[in-house]
Structure 1
Amino acid sequence: MVMINFFVLLGLTQIISGILSATIGTTYINEAYTAVNTSVGTINGFIEITRYTNGQPRGALKFLGIPYAVPPVGNLRFRKPRPATNFKQPFNATKFGPGCLQNKFLMSLWLPGRAFLSEDCLTLNIFAPIHSNGPRLPVMLWIHGGAYQIGQSSIYSAENLASYGQVIVVTINYRLGPFGFLATKDPDSLGNLGLWDQQLAIKWIHENIEYFHGDSSRITLFGESAGGGSTVYQAMYSGNKGLFARTISESGVAMSAWGYNTRDKMLDFTKRMAQNLKCPTANDRDMLACMRNVPAQDIVDKSRVGTESENLFRPEFVPAPDGEFIKQYAPDIFTKSCLISDQTGSVFDNIDMAFVALTGDGTAVTGSTMLPYVKKRMSKTMSPDDIIEKSVIPNILSDRFNISSPELAKIMNFLYSDWNKILGNDSYQTKLLNLDTDYSFYIPIINTATAHAQREKKKRTYLLGFEKHSSFTLPLEYKPPNLHADEIPYFFGFPDSMMKPFAMSRTNITVEEIKLSEKLMLYISNFAYSGDPNLPISPD
């Protein structure tokens, strides 16, 4: 029997709303160093005191900017990551490393982080509660989102989650865009280098986290958007067997429309980029040698090679089958779980999995591509609903199912109509949002959760629905119930690092939202402890 445990958070309306006092959530840094001796050498961190709830101080140990790989620069560009060498001197882990190179304009559109970017970016950060000599603590490894194009670990400072949930939290950087996901036929650069980066970080944590009082047998991967997709891709890779026990995939899985492409299309995009860079394309080895010698920023600037229709659902450089890391095409196997091979299932079948879906997840694609696509084509003779029926929906049917059916497009256009006409003549925007929420998020998440449950390997599957409209939810013109990524500040306990990226104000966060954050942090830390969001501490 297939069983998926489902629960919905409506926002805890029974809690009396109020305004959070200015002291809650603020942090105070103690400059005293704390040293940890590891297999790679001595790492110096520091103690930070956070007053997250009721003004009660909680301490967290922070170790920032630890390199887990040799810098992927020069001749190592477009190659798999290599483990970092041991430290000859104690490493002072007191500040975040740079984010990986990315398009700064795209970065400014969604959760803008620091402009401190570099090709030398493969670092990780560790946050741990101040502990005694009690039992080792579960570990939660966060993989950031950003459509595999943007994002950085410094946004996700995890001292509140670590201290409140009594877990060790790790956040990582990994290569993005063409640096992380170009594809060639050269054995040294088949593709998915960003996933290989993540996997090397997972191995580093598995081998070293016990020095930080972590339990290497209870590692949970969790991530949002592309980070959520990455947790599933890592679960599909047989080389991860025994390296982690659980995953939490928020607002993204491997078969999310924006998170995969065919290998042929990835090879084509890579050659188009090489042509933009004036590099030869007849031989992959020569092409790579040329691209390894051009300035890194040129690669960022010349990588937008897709057409408008090719980029309607996904950017150019995303994960794709390579015969090595990804051996099966995610959209196929998660719609029919019987097609999951023994090799792909060797990890996927043997871990607990939890999934999170937001009612407004589609804002990620609706606002960036689909809404501009429709508005560009509107005219006196072509209404928005006509464009959706005759262009947007056919693109969806062709993209996923390789079919063309005007009759089906007409039915879908009718079914997704906003009969309440909340936006009046602009109600087509609600239709677009609901279409993309289903196509890019909800249906892929449901399919993946169902596939995991159907494998019936005595592992647990959970699905969390998030409907909360928050005080910091941006007022977009099409009035979504919430925004893609709105749940993240709750999961991390509203750290200072998220105030600017999420356009939040410390004084406007309500007591209700703090209580919801506490509940969510208990859900995920419980899951890291036991594989059950409700144990060992009841969130209710």
Structure 2
Amino acid sequence: MKFLRLKIFPEASRVPIYTYLGVPYASPPIGQNRFIVPQPQQSWNRTYYARDYKPVCPQLESLLEQGETRYRRSSEDCLYLNLWVPETAMKIGGFPVLIVLTGEDSYDWSANRISGLDIAAEGIIVVTIQYRSNVFGWLSFDHNLSPGNLGLMDQLMAFEWIDENISKFGGDMKNVTLLGHGSMGTFNSFYHLLSPKTKRIFSKAILMSGSLFAPTPMNHDASDDFVRLLTCDSVDFNIMLKCLQSKSFEELMKAYESIVRNEKRTNRFFGPLVDDFITDIDNRVFLGDPFKLITEFNYTIDVPVLIGITSNEGALVDEMWLSYGREGYRKFRNYIDEAVIPNMLKKAHFEYYNKRQIKEAINWHYFQPYPKTTSHLLNSLIKLSTEIAFELPLFKTIELLTTPIELQSTQGIVNNENNFSINEHENGRAVEIKTFRSGKQIDGRQKTASNNLYVYVFHHSNSMDMRGTINYFGGAQHSSDIPFLFGPSLFKQISRRRLSQTEEKLCKKFKQLFGDFIKTGNPTPDRLFDAWHPYNSNTKYIKILGTKIDSLLHNRILKDSSFEQNHEKIDDLLSSDTQEKLQVVSNDASSHQYNPYHLSSVNHGYDENNRGAIRTFDATPSASNTAKNTDYYFYLRRIYSFWYEYLPNLYKNYQDRTGRASSEQDRYSEVNPKYKHAFFSMLTLVCLLLAILGLCVYLLKKNNQSLASATTIL
């Protein structure tokens, strides 16, 4: 296949970049190919026009954005990939390759697409992959033709295309890095690093804003609901499939939207599933639950891994939260207590999430100390969301990957009598697995994990996310690291302005560290003074990347007061009557961007608030650099202690107290009849004795009277 490509000259680079956009790697999943495994791309003998992005796969755009549901930007014909290739790679060859998988639970960034232009200028071939998600990628009928996990199968076919063709673009298949971003992108990347079908492809991995323990979007049997809504349910699979394939795109999206809107009530949603119903193990996508593969079996990640999150991930606010927030404090609080928190904890597999003592402890820890305003309530909810969905999973993942397997149970990483989580998904059943690595069967337990694990936290106040909106709640929100990693072109595309001097330095540092890791597997090769140390069981080193970094000694916490500093602005601009106002984009106030928050600012209480959990660190090379960058570990450890030690012990102590009280009551109930019988027996005896005594007294008195009468007569 010949391509009609673009030739672009990035800023500050003398090497032109060849861009190939919308390259097909599979047949369009439309018509008879809808809801089935991807089919190979038909041969193409003509010149292919590869100058424009293809639409993203179907999704609901309003899940995080304002306005009515918009899905016309997307298309079912979406199985394409995009390449950015340095001109020198075409001439010399042997260049490192970066494969990018993005995606959240049910959507991907469509308004601002990731561009690999600036990464390619660093001497790296960049490939982004579009794959089916939500109902189009995860619908399952327990049938070989439509087993679910279609999104993962799309990725497998894209990897096959890359394996066969990347050398033609100058890429080195022995030096391939997989980058996953977001809850779905990172989860998929973890799967590929564990699967014998794909792990041979990758020599390194970058996992951003997601982890193995994140609230994974594993399938919760929403497929039956979807089929019923479209009146396609049938015991005959072929009839049901033909019915679904005959439905219009709009009908499918309306049915899917209904599932999404009721997700918090039904806890049913679409995602990957363990396909152990397939009898032929060679045709399975999953060989077992990914969590169990790494905790109970001998599956290890043998390649260098760079993993991290942003400092305030939850500040990418859900539109549903804003909708309830605009209705006032009381309605918002009721919605949080009755829907958000229970669903959040259940999705994260926390036990006892509906127990009164646990709810009271969470309320005391996150909501009680702060003023009763809608903005403070939202800020507390953001903090709770950040800890549950990102910080806790990150801590558990990096500890699991660096803790010897024989110590994991004793340290509470996998199984512990006080462990507060369910360590398996509802429908994730592990199977007996026998696999081979390097030609030898694995039959021993995992002893140690790789020493090439690098951990980071990205911090940048008032940062901009992929929607182009600004975070006023302190720290860096979800997806705010992408514009710096893939900038400055992507940053300008989103913000419509150039980087400031501070932002430009951060962007260069970001690209240098990640670029060196992609090329060598080490973010700071041949550097000793300011080296980025691996995270291991002895050195809990977490690199802090960001701006306005202050020195931190002896684990002193520096609270990020961005929320308080912006509070007056938030009260003015987040009210329901300012929906059309624009907000300052960045620290420099050099440009404006649409602000998504429109909340009530009515005060229902008092107190003062800080982000509390957010800390910044000095990244300047110094003798104490290691000590400063390990402090974030202790912050994560404190969060872990609250959720996995304090709350379980709280509930256990309550159970012990109630158990003792119940036991005492039972013992009392057992002995009570005996004492009651003895009491009444004694009472009867006393009464009988009193009666006898009374009779004796009566007889004596009567006898005395008789004697007196006899004396008188005499």
Normalising to structure 1: TM-score of the pair? 0.78
Pairwise CA distance, 1:475: 6.8
**Equivalent of 1:235 in 193, 202, 211:** 193
Q: How has the CA–CA distance of structure 1 residues 425 and 168 changed in structure 2, closer, same or farther, with 3 Å as cutoff?
A: closer
Question: Is 1:354 aligned with 2:306?
Answer: yes
Moved more, 412-421 or 461-470: 412-421
Pairwise CA distance, 1:140: 0.5
Give the aligned partner of residue 292 of structure 2: 333
Higher strand share: 1
Name the CA distance, whole Å, in 1 between partners of 2:17 and 2:86: 4
Give the aligned partner of residue 440 of structure 1: 389
Amino acid across the alignment from 1:178: V
Moved more, 306-315 or 173-182: 306-315
Give the aligned partner of residue 288 of structure 1: 241
Pairwise CA distance, 1:338: 3.0
Name the CA distance, whole Å, in 2 between partners of 1:459 and 1:304: 44
Higher relative contact order (CA 8 A, sep 6+): 1
Aligned with 2:312: secondary structure?
A: coil
Q: How has the CA–CA distance of structure 1 residues 448 and 95 changed in structure 2, closer, same or farther, with 3 Å as cutoff?
A: same
Whether the 8 Å CA contact 1:143–1:222 is kept in 2: the answer is: yes
Unaligned runs of 5+ in 2: 277-283, 404-445, 533-620, 622-714
Pairwise CA distance, 1:188: 1.2
Question: Is 1:526 aligned with 2:520?
Answer: no
Give the aligned partner of residue 485 of structure 1: 479
Q: How has the CA–CA distance of structure 1 residues 475 and 530 changed in structure 2, closer, same or farther, with 3 Å as cutoff?
A: closer
Pairwise CA distance, 1:467: 1.1
**Equivalent of 1:368 in 298, 319, 328:** 319
Whether the 8 Å CA contact 1:209–1:216 is kept in 2: the answer is: yes
Whether the 8 Å CA contact 2:83–2:125 is kept in 1: the answer is: yes
Q: How has the CA–CA distance of structure 1 residues 294 and 221 changed in structure 2, closer, same or farther, with 3 Å as cutoff?
A: same
Amino acid across the alignment from 2:8: E
Name the CA distance, whole Å, in 2 between partners of 1:246 and 1:528: 7
Question: Is 1:46 aligned with 2:38?
Answer: no
Give the aligned partner of residue 597 of structure 2: none
Output one character per residue of 1:62-85: Cα deviation in whole Å (capped at 9) or x when no partner. 111110001111111111112213
Give the aligned partner of residue 83 of structure 2: 126
Pairwise CA distance, 1:247: 1.6
Pairwise CA distance, 1:294: 1.0
Give the aligned partner of residue 96 of structure 2: 138
Output one character per residue of 1:373-404: Cα deviation in whole Å (capped at 9) or x when no partner. 6777953xx883x7656664444444413423
Output one character per residue of 1:350-375: Cα deviation in whole Å (capped at 9) or x when no partner. 222221201221134x4334565677
Q: How has the CA–CA distance of structure 1 residues 253 and 314 changed in structure 2, closer, same or farther, with 3 Å as cutoff?
A: farther
Matches within 5 A, 1:60-71: 60-71=17-28
Pairwise CA distance, 1:309: 6.7
Give the aligned partner of residue 251 of structure 2: 298
Matches within 5 A, 1:84-163: 84-106=41-63, 108-109=65-66, 116-131=73-88, 133-134=91-92, 136-152=94-110, 155-163=113-121
Higher helix share: 2
Question: Is 1:204 aligned with 2:161?
Answer: yes
Moved more, 307-316 or 199-208: 307-316
Whether the 8 Å CA contact 2:461–2:471 is kept in 1: the answer is: no
Aligned with 2:256: secondary structure?
A: coil
Number of residue equivalences: 473
Give the aligned partner of residue 11 of structure 1: none
Pairwise CA distance, 1:510: 0.6
Q: How has the CA–CA distance of structure 1 residues 162 and 44 changed in structure 2, closer, same or farther, with 3 Å as cutoff?
A: same
Name the CA distance, whole Å, in 2 between partners of 1:394 and 1:105: 23
Name the CA distance, whole Å, in 2 between partners of 1:312 and 1:355: 33
Aligned with 1:431: secondary structure?
A: helix
Pairwise CA distance, 1:314: 7.9
Aligned with 1:427: secondary structure?
A: helix
Whether the 8 Å CA contact 2:60–2:257 is kept in 1: the answer is: no
Normalising to structure 2: TM-score of the pair? 0.60
Matches within 5 A, 1:404-483: 404-417=354-367, 419=369, 426-454=375-403, 456-458=448-450, 460-470=452-462, 472=464, 479-483=473-477
Name the CA distance, whole Å, in 2 between partners of 1:80 and 1:161: 32
Question: Is 1:505 aligned with 2:496?
Answer: yes
Q: Which has the larger radius of gyration?
A: 2
Whether the 8 Å CA contact 1:418–1:430 is kept in 2: the answer is: no
Aligned with 2:200: secondary structure?
A: coil
Name the CA distance, whole Å, in 1 between partners of 2:9 and 2:471: 40
